[in-house]
Amino acid sequence: MVEPGDIRKGGFGMLLAGDGWGEGSSREVAALALLYAGIGIVFAPSIAPIHRQNLINNGMFPVTDFALAQRLAAGERVPVGENRIDLR
């Protein structure tokens, strides 16, 4: 059972999710919940547009490129210009 605070205490920082992540989660609180849990990077093959924008608006990094996600998960530093991600 996951108790309140367990994710933040685990020091995860990156969430690996499935296709269509964030669909039905367009309210800003869905992104804030991840931020408050200590998540800074969200990888999913596809991310719902409104949820993706809420992640960006709250300082998180949405990633849909699996190779990039693997590099980040391995702790590799990736220059911003190399990531091919539109953060608008």
pLDDT tens-digit series, residues 16-46: 999 999 998 778 899 999 999 899 999 999 9
For residue 86, the tally of other CB atoms under 10 A from its CB is: 8
User: pTM to 2 decimals?
Assistant: 0.81
pLDDT at 87 over 70: no
The DSSP bridge partners found for residue 41 are 14, 61
For residue 46, the tally of other CB atoms under 10 A from its CB is: 14
Q: Name the residue with higher pLDDT: 85 or 55.
A: 55
Strand order, beta sheet including 14-16: 14-16, 41-43, 61-63
Distance CA 23, CA 35 (A): 18
The pLDDT value recorded for residue 74 is 92
Radius of gyration of the chain, Cα coordinates, nearest whole angstrom: 13
- Mean pLDDT for the stretch of residues 50-70: 92
